[in-house]
């Protein structure tokens, strides 16, 4: 399912909004760099927030990080890393209690529109397999060494 954001042709794969950071995994479909997405979205959000609440300046600290994913194994682990964040960071005990990601859409517990169900089926053979893949990570709480190094880059 493609979701268009002004001047961008991107497919949202996975996302998770946290109290102090966010994760977006998107597939770039056009010539625009997907790293421009956070800049445009959050600049617009900051402007609207500042007008509404009479503030000025930035709302987000530090630069965002845009990383190109080139290996399927990285893509698989990145999806579950993103979705597991609320449990990993101690915000909830059960991922199904965190509504600020598309995990519930991935596992069929919510009918959101920011999910590519064909991607879930093709990459993980469906919701049940993905749910087990994420739960395995939450039990072990370790990514493969290669993936951990990739995320640190």
Q: What is the mean pLDDT of residues 92-100?
A: 95
Q: Answer whether residue 134 shows pLDDT above 90.
A: yes
Q: Which residues pair with 14 in a beta bridge?
A: 25
Q: What is the mean pLDDT of residues 78-105?
A: 94
Handedness of CA 123, 91, 93, 88 (dihedral sign): positive
Q: Answer whether residue 90 shows pLDDT above 70.
A: yes
pLDDT at residue number 31:
67
Burial class (CB in 10 A: 0-12, 13-18, 19+), 36: middle
pLDDT at residue number 42:
76
Mean of all residue pLDDT scores within the chain: 83
User: Of 83, 109, 98, whose CA–CA distance to 25 is shortest?
Assistant: 83
- pLDDT greater at residue 104 or residue 22: 104
d(CA 115, CA 112): 7
Q: What is the pTM of this model?
A: 0.78
| pLDDT digits 0-9 by tens, 44-60 | 778 888 899 998 888 77
Which residues have a Cβ under 8 Å from the Cβ of 30 and sit 6 or more positions away? 8, 9, 10
Q: Answer whether residue 71 shows pLDDT above 50.
A: yes
């Amino acid at each position: 399912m493609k979701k268009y954001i002004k001047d961008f042709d991107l497919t949202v794969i996975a996302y998770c909004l946290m109290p102090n950071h966010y994760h977006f995994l998107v597939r770039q479909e056009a010539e625009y760099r997907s790293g421009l997405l956070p800049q445009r979205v959050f600049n617009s959000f900051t402007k609207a927030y500042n007008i509404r609440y009479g503030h000025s300046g930035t709302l987000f600290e530090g630069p965002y990080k845009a990383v190109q994913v080139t290996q399927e194994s990285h893509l698989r682990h990145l999806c579950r890393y993103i979705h597991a964040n609320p449990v990993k960071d101690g915000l909830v005990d059960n991922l199904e209690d965190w509504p600020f990601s598309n995990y519930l859409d991935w596992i069929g517990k919510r009918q959101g529109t920011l999910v590519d169900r064909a991607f879930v089926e093709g990459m993980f053979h469906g919701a049940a397999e993905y749910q087990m893949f994420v739960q395995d990570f939450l039990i072990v709480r370790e990514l493969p060494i290669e993936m951990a190094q990739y995320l640190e880059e």
